[in-house]
Each structure stands twice: as C-alpha cells, then as structure tokens.
Structure 1
Amino acid sequence: MSDYPALSQSTLQRLQDCPRLFQVEALELSGRWFQHDLRQRLEWGRRFHRLMQQQALGIPIDQLQTGDRSLDQCLADFAAAQPQLFALPPASWHRQTECRWQWPFQDFVLVAIFDRLELSDRAAQIHDWKTHNRPQTLETLTATWQTQLYCWLVTERSGLPPEAVSMHYWFVRSQPQQPVTIHWNQQQHQQTQQQLEKSLQEFKGWLQAYPETSLPQRPDRLQRCQTCEERDRCWPNPDLTLAIASWDEIPVVEL
C-alpha cells in the first residue's frame, strides 16, 4: 500500500496550476482538495450526472422528470440531439457509467472517474458531461490533465493502442448537438507518461520535505494570485507578518 495519496485529474491540475494553493487546500485544510471532484460540482451538475446514470440503467427518459424545468428540458434536448447516447450499445460494446478506475504508478495511485466509458476489443470511447455554459476549445481541453490522465489510463489498463482511444466532451447546456472530440495518439501518450513521471517525482520530493519546507508558490504576483482567496497565506502583508509569529496562531474557521 502506498504511503502517498491517490491522485485524480483535479489534483494533478491544481499541482500544475499552483502547488502552494494545493498545500493550503489539501494539506492544511483537512484534505479538502482530495474531495474536489465531489465537493466542487454544483448541485445542478450533480443532478444531471445522476439522471444520466439512471438512464443508462434502463429508466426511460419520461420517467426521469425532476420538476426542474431547465434540467428536464436540457435532458430532453440532449436525448433528441444525441439519441445514440440514450440507446443500448451494440452487443460488441461494454458501457460503464460513473465508474472509477485506479492504476498504480510511481508509488501513487492514479484515479479516474468516468461519466461514461464504452469499450470494445478494438476501441474505447470516454464521454464526459460538462454542465457549465462556457464551452472550451479543442486546444484547451487537450492540454488539461483530465484529458491526458483519462486517455493515458484507459490506454494503459485496456491494452489498446493509443489511436483506438478517444474522449468526447459534451457541453450539454450550450451545444448538445456536437461534442469536442479528442483522438489520442502515440505521441500524446508518450508525452503524458513523461510528464506524469516528472510531476509525480517532483510532488514526492515536496511531500517528503513538507512541513519543514512549504510547497513552491508562484514566482510573482500574477492576476490569479491577486484574486485568490488564500493569497495572504502565500503573499503575507509584511506589517502583518511582523505582528504574527506563526500562521498557527490564527484560528482556522471550519466551513
């Protein structure tokens, strides 16, 4: 059993974006970040994912009415635009919904939770339901750790060649007619493995040095830092720092 935490795509993305904020959220505030996938989803999004899971179990659409007009209409529009997603898959395909896959790697356990995963002996299709109103570009989505980790993990665990794996992002509230589709390939697979090895070795070193040494922070006061609610922990006011011997003297307010 690894002494290091299980890592999701959200954790990897936070470590890439800001290691010090990861420290605050995950290491100082009772592991809040490790529950990010569950705690950060808005209620509307959680309910939509639940409906898609129930539909995949065979419950007809007309029996999934929630009383929330926007949610019911969104589900109906999505079913009308993409009926193949609501039909039973061909016999040669195996469909899994809201499934969790784990894979040991570099002393960690990598975790992926798929909204829908469809597998055959020749291909794998990952489907992800996005419930916010701001569609992202192909380039942006390809660069995220969600795409990289999910496609890499499916390729490794299934034994399929990278070219047989694809990921489909469905922005169900704004453009249900067409997904943003990413076709995985050997070059992306190798690059992701190299980045995983580098990132996890780096993270392991940070954890071994913590708490004597804090995780690194951004080298300058970027705009993201200015708007971050935890910025005073990373960039304390010099006058305030003189008055406080340790951050431990400040009581933590449980949310």
Structure 2
Amino acid sequence: MLSSSTQLIRLSQGQLNVLERCPRQFQHTYLEQLFSPADPDTEARQTLGSRFHLLMQQREIGLPIDKFVKADSQLEAWMNAFAKDAPEILTNTNSRFFRDSEHYRSLQVQNYVLTAIYDLLIADEQQAQIIDWKTYRKPPNKRSLQSNWQTRLYLYILAETSDYLPENISMTYWFFQGEGKLRSIRIDYNTVRHQQTTKKLTRLLSRLSKWLEKYQQGEAFPQVSEGQRKVCEKCQYAHRCERDSVIETEELKAVDKTLANLATIQEVCF
C-alpha cells in the first residue's frame, strides 16, 4: 500500500473499518500483510457466503441456477425463503428500473480512491436502493450497521457519483441465517448523514496520510489507548503489540473476583 505522493491508494470499507478501530492493526494487516489462518468454521462460512453471492449474481444475469441450488440444502432454503419474503426483488423486471449485480463504483478523495461493490443496485429516475447479502448467523443491530463503514461508504459514494439526492438513496441488508431464516434491515440516507460522513472521512483520511508519512520514516502507526483494551482482547496482534499482558491482567482480575465471591459462601455441614 505504500506509495509515492503521485500515486493513489485504493481503500475499501473493510480497510476503513480496521483503520478506525485500530491504526496499528491497519498497519499490521495491510502494510505488513501479516495474516493469521482462519479457523475451519470461519472458512466454511466464508465459502458458503461466497457461493451464495455468486449464485445471486448468476441469477441476475440470467444464467440457470436450479442445478446448483438443489445440490445444496442451505442455499435452497435461503433461495426459497427469499422468494417468499421478497419476491419483488427477484421478479422485478420492469424495463424502467436499472438493475446491476456486483455493481462497482469508485470515488477519489484526497490521495485515495474509495471503492464500493454493491451486491445489487436497483434504481429508477426517482430513487436508488443498494442491496447487500449477508450470511451471518447473528445479524448486528441497526445502530451498528449505520456506523459501519460499509454503510457509510456505500451510501456516500452513490450520492457523490450520481444525481440522486441523499434522501432518495437507501441501503437494505438481507441476512440469510440458518434453516432458511431471513431478516432485512433498511437504512435510509439523508443530507445530514452525508455531511457527517464527509467530515468523518476527511478527518480519517487526513490522519492516514500523516501516519503513512511517519511510517515511511520508521514510526509505527498509533495503538488504541489502554482504555480501549477490549479491541485488543480479540486482536491477533495483541502479543506483537505487547498488549497480551493487558488481557492477562483482566483475566486474572476476573479469577480473583470469582475466588472472592466463593470465599463468602458459608460452609454447609452434613
């Protein structure tokens, strides 16, 4: 990712999420490309999610999918549930609607090219809707989705690269859970949120530029404060960042508290 000042750096929503959560984690992951192998369960879910996205893309461009759906009971359950709960999305072939699967858009901000790939974009002359497929077992709440950079960036880029007013843009997440269960969360955009995203994005990218400049001079990206130690508890780089001692301290405190509670329990005589 390191580059000269004349080159543009591409950033996705995933990279912005990591950068905002912990700049040092961004450094290890994207600059130094230090990755830990995923556990088998995670890899299996990711593979199933990728297959489902590919299936929806093939369906959208008119390729036959029945053979692939019937070969996988989970995919079949999801497709049947979606056809039941949101038939208008699957069957809407009105020529006045623009529909595009895996729709790509980009936007330059400062020295960065921000990229977005919409699972499905449906639009007409008045409004546009971004559709995103998720195969999480447990969907996040709406507030978490609104603050996630996928939501922020996808809505922001569409507003900046089209003639639609922010008020006429929305994003709907469809969560395909186990046993054919479905849940959708719609997030409507507006001018106030667009302005807020502009400020947050400008500030975050300006900081990134400073951190990159210092990194090229041998200075590491900043770590999160110890007051945000919960970020470190789930981070694969905790030992590298010398934050595993913080985690161990918290675990010891929990054990001490448990032992203290046990000490207060009166002995029962038989």
Interval containing the TM-score (normalised by the shorter chain): 0.7 to 0.9
The equivalent of 2:51 in structure 1 is 47
CA contact (8 A) 1:162 1:189 kept: yes
Counterpart CA distance in 2 for 1:83 and 1:213 is: 54
1:114-158: CA deviation from partner (whole Å, max 9, x where unpaired): 101112221110000010111122111111111110001001101
1:17-56: CA deviation from partner (whole Å, max 9, x where unpaired): 01101101111127x69xxxxx987000000000000110
Amino acid at match of 1:198: R
Give the direction of change, closer, same or farther, for the CA distance of 1:2–1:121 in structure 2 (3 Å limit). farther
1:94-130: CA deviation from partner (whole Å, max 9, x where unpaired): 1110122111111110000110111222111000001
> Which sits farther off after the overlay, 218-227 or 115-124?
218-227
Q: What pairs with 1:1-255 in structure 2 (closer than 5 Å)?
A: 3-29=7-33, 42-60=46-64, 62-65=66-69, 67-173=71-177, 178-211=183-216, 212-220=218-226, 222-235=229-242
CA contact (8 A) 1:82 1:177 kept: no
Counterpart CA distance in 2 for 1:44 and 1:237 is: 33
Q: TM-score under structure 2 normalisation?
A: 0.79
CA contact (8 A) 1:130 1:170 kept: yes
Which blocks of at least 5 consecutive residues in structure 2 are unaligned?
37-41, 246-270
The secondary structure found in structure 2 opposite 1:158 is coil
Counterpart CA distance in 2 for 1:231 and 1:76 is: 43
1:199-239: CA deviation from partner (whole Å, max 9, x where unpaired): 1011011111114111110111613313322112211689x
Q: TM-score under structure 1 normalisation?
A: 0.83
1:180-204: CA deviation from partner (whole Å, max 9, x where unpaired): 0011000000000111111101101
CA contact (8 A) 2:130 2:172 kept: yes
Give the direction of change, closer, same or farther, for the CA distance of 1:116–1:46 in structure 2 (3 Å limit). same
> Which sits farther off after the overlay, 70-79 or 105-114?
70-79
Counterpart CA distance in 1 for 2:129 and 2:94 is: 13
Pairs aligned (count): 232
Counterpart CA distance in 2 for 1:214 and 1:28 is: 11
